[in-house]
Amino acid sequence: MMRIKIETAGITLHADLVENDTAQKIFEALPIERQVNRWGEEIYFEIPVQISEAPDARQDMEVGELGYWPAGDAFCIFFGPTPASHDETPRAASNVNPFGIINGDATALSAVPHGERITLSALME
């Protein structure tokens, strides 16, 4: 199983990646360090990976779910409602490729401000 560590604003979270092409390509690009953008209760940032929209791409996500946004070459972490949400369910601006889920309390990310540094790295067991 592929696992990653997400570090930002003094918060460390671990996530399990699913077995799909999106997860594999992102895992191979690690480590990645960027500045985050906030869009409601979503963090996203451009990564050096270009992937087409997957057959299972969708807009409605779960709290803690990771998605890759093909329109912006971006890694997205959903932890609550976004401006596109109809209720408390996270909703992406357009289709994203789901590729993983955070272990633990993803809502801790609500404290992360726009522009904060984030580091993604492979988690070795």
- Residue 55, SS3? coil
User: pLDDT tens digits for 60-99?
Assistant: 999 999 999 999 999 999 999 999 999 999 999 999 999 9
pTM tops 0.95: yes
CATH topology of domain 3-122: Cyclophilin (2.40.100)
User: pLDDT tens digits for 41-61?
Assistant: 999 999 999 999 999 999 999
Helices (H), 7-117: 21-28
Q: Checking phi first, is residue 50 left (phi over 0); if not, alpha (psi -120 to 50) or beta?
A: beta
Can you read off the two tokens belonging to residue 44? Answer: 């996203």
Delimit the domains of the chain by residue range.
3-122
